[in-house]
Amino acid sequence: MSDGGGDVTDGGKPGSPEPGASARTPGGRFDTDRLIMAFGGPVLALGVAVLLTSVVLLLSGRNPVEPYVLMVEYAGNADIQVNILNRSTTYYIAALAVAVGFRMNLFNIGVDGQYRLAAVIAAIVGAAIELPAPLHVLAIVLVAMLTGAFWAGIAGILKTTRGVSEVVSTIMLNAIATSIIAYLILPAQFGEQRGNNLTTGLIPESGWFPGFDTGPGGVIYGFIVVAVLLGVLYWLVLNRTRFGFDLRATGASQSAAAASGVDAKRMVFTSMVISGTVAGMAGMPVLLGDSHTYSLVFPVGVGFTGITIALLGRNHPVGIALGALLIAFLDIASQTLDFNGYEREIATIMQGLIVIAVVVSYEAVRRWGLRRQQQRVGEELAAQAAGAAGGNSQNLSKGASA
């Protein structure tokens, strides 16, 4: 649990702390060890993933380099960059939601369901009410947050009162959310049929979140600002508040946290609710910035991508941002592979390889760091002891001769 919040996944738990990054060298100066700890993992991982993907390409008789070039070139287009940015905004919030859980060893697979349910209810409410501009947006976001919190809270309650594993209950709740949504958007309920699509009706313009128009590139969701603030808030709360300390402590060692005065059950419930609240906001960039309604074509599976990204970003807000950009880049830029006769599944394979490579290399670097630190502690102590040897030697010799 370093102050910088740099987190790795160790063997046991997805959210446990990273010793190395926090290990400012005893004197407090930066050194190569620390640099290796911070950048070794990701760089090694990307390299390995790219290498392995190239091997796959070679094996199937394809050019092993061109796909990357194509993708990078494609991402040079302004509108593609805007798309990548917009999509990573959604991913980012979803991943933050997952990360909140991970930081205390809760595995919220239910982010997807929370996100979808929150988007539907927020869309229904948003279309039904009329408020002046900023308030309307605020109301919609609030509804989304509450819905997400409620849906995750069910899993939280089941875990704290009945001991139901959140992994199982959130899988179930995802499926149940699907049914509820299907019911809610029926024309007989709150839905509207538009052609072959079902929607929840259009939110009036007062409920739209203004974006940044880049001209030819298109509009960047204004919600990106909220996402950034959310990341800052996440960092502040986790690293600078007593609540965050409790949460991280619970993640690092449930038993130690309990003995330190953290009410573990309440913590589980609270963090589940927070995770759900954030998950509820994940649908807002698209809802408020683009679609202005929930329909059958609203993006799905965002919560699962969020899991991948939270893992890639090691639950750190900056790491998650990079992870979200990377995955969004692979998702969107892989489009160009189709244009050029490559299979775009290459990007999916690469995503899988990146995840594996990243965690393996993080783990390798983490172990290396831990060993290295112990060694240094040992060495420094030995050096100290040697320095003080004059005083001790008498005792020692006396002991030995007795």
Partner 1 sequence: GTSTESSGDKGAAIAYDVGGRGDQSFNDAAYAGLQRAQDEFGWEGEDLEPSDGESDADKASRLKELARQGYNPVIGVGFAYAGPIAEAAEAYPDTTFGLIDDEQAKGDNIVNMVFSEEQGSYLAGVAAAHATETDVVGFVGGVEVPLIKKFEAGFVQGVKDTNPDITVKSQYLTQPPNMNGFSKPDLGKEAARGQLDAKADVIYHAAGLAGQGVIEAVAARGEWVIGVDSDQYAQKTLAPYKDSILTSMTKDVPDAVYELIKSVEDGDPQSGVVRYNLETDGVALSESNPAYKEMTDLTAAVAKAKEDIIAGRITVNTTP
Partner 2 sequence: MHAIVGENGAGKSTLMKILYGMQKPDEGTITVDGEQVTLHSPADAIARGIGMVHQHFMLADNLTVLENVVLGSESLHGIGGKARAKILEISEAYGLGVRPDVLVEDLGVADRQRVEILKVLYRGARTLILDEPTAVLVPQEVDALFDNLRELKAEGLTVIFISHKLGEVLSVADDITVIRRGTTVASVHPRDVTSKQLAELMVGSELPVPETRESTVTDRPVLTVEGLTVRIHDAEHGHRTVLDEIDFTIHAGEVLGLAGVEGNGQTELVDALIGLRHADAGTIRLGEEDITGWATRKRREGGVGYIPEDRHRHGLLLEAPLWENRILGHVTEKPNSNGYWLKPKEARADTERIVEEYDVRTPGIEVTAASLSGGNQQKLIVGREMSHTPRFLIAAHPTRGVDVGAQAQIWDQIREARHEGLAVLLISADLDELIGLSDTLRVIYRGRLVADADPATITPEELGTAMTGAASGHLEHEEGPQDARPGDDTDGAQNEENEHE
Partner 3 sequence: MSTVVTTKPTPPPSPHQRADRRRLTLAQWMLVIAAGLALFSAVRLITDANGITSTGQVSAALRLAVPIGLAGLGGLWAERAGVINIGLEGMMILGTWFGAWAGVQWGPWTGVVFGIVGGALGGLIHAIATVSFGVNHIVSGVAINILAVGVTRYLSKFTFDTMEGGTEKQSPPIDSITSITVPGLSDWMRDLNNEHWFFVSDLAGIVGGLVTNLSLLTVVALLMVPFSWWVLWHTSFGLRLRSCGENPTAAESLGVNVYKYKYLAVMISGGFAGLGGVFLAEVAANIYQEGQTGGRGYIGLAAMIFGNWMPGGMAMGAGLFGYADSLNLRGGGTNVHALLLFLAILLALAVVWEIYRRKWVTALVAGVTGLGLFAYYLSVDEVPSQFVSAAPYVATLLVLALSAQRLRMPKANGRPYRKGEGK
Ligand X SMILES: Nc1ncnc2c1ncn2[C@@H]1O[C@H](COP(=O)(O)OP(=O)(O)OP(=O)(O)O)[C@@H](O)[C@H]1O
Dihedrals φ, ψ of 17, to 5°? -75, 165
Phi, psi of 391, rounded to the nearest 5 degrees: -70, -35
Q: Which residues contact 38 (CB under 8 A, 6 or more apart)?
A: 6, 21
Count other Cβ atoms within 10 Å, centred on residue 303.
24
Determine which residue in the list 84, 104, 145, 173 makes contact with partner 3, applying CB under 8 A.
173
Q: x/- string (CB under 8 A) for partner 2, residues 242-261?
A: xxxxx--x--xx-xxxxxxx
- Residue 172 binding: pick among partner 3, partner 2, ligand X, none (C-beta 5-8 Å cut-off by kind): partner 3
Per the CB < 8 A criterion, the answer to whether 145 and 93 are in contact is: no
**Contact stretch for ligand X (CB under 6 A) within 53-61, 62-70, 274-282, 373-381:** 373-381
Q: Of 214, 195, 183, which Cα lies nearest the Cα of 83?
A: 214
Site membership for partner 1, residue 72 (CB under 8 A):
no
- Residue 290 CB, shortest distance to partner 1, in Å, is 6
Q: Which does 79 bind (CB under 5 to 8 A by kind): partner 3, partner 2, ligand X, none?
A: none
Residue 377 makes contact with ligand X by CB under 6 A? yes
Looking at beta carbons only, is 164 or 228 nearer to partner 3?
164
CB 298 within 8 Å of CB 119: yes
Q: What is the H or E stretch that residue 222 is in? A: none
| Single-letter amino acid code for the residue at 256 | A
The interface region with ligand X, picked from 58-66, 90-98, 286-294, 372-380 by CB under 6 A, is: 372-380
To 5 degrees, how large is the angle CA 134–CA 138–CA 141? 140
Q: Shortest approach of partner 2 to residue 254 CB, angstroms?
A: 9
Q: What are phi and psi of 110, to 5 degrees?
A: -85, 5
* CA R_g for the chain: 25
Rounded to an integer, what is the distance from CA 131 to the centroid of its chain?
33
228 binds partner 3 (CB under 8 A): no
Residue 198 or 284 having the CB closest to partner 3: 198
Q: Which residues bind partner 1 (CB under 8 A)?
A: 77, 79-80, 82-83, 86-87, 90, 116, 178-179, 181-182, 187, 193-198, 218, 286, 290-291, 296-302, 305, 331-332, 334-335, 338-339, 344
Q: Which residues bind partner 2 (CB under 8 A)?
A: 1-3, 10, 16-19, 22-28, 239-246, 249, 252-253, 255-263, 370, 373-374, 376-377, 380-381, 384, 392, 395-396, 398-400, 402
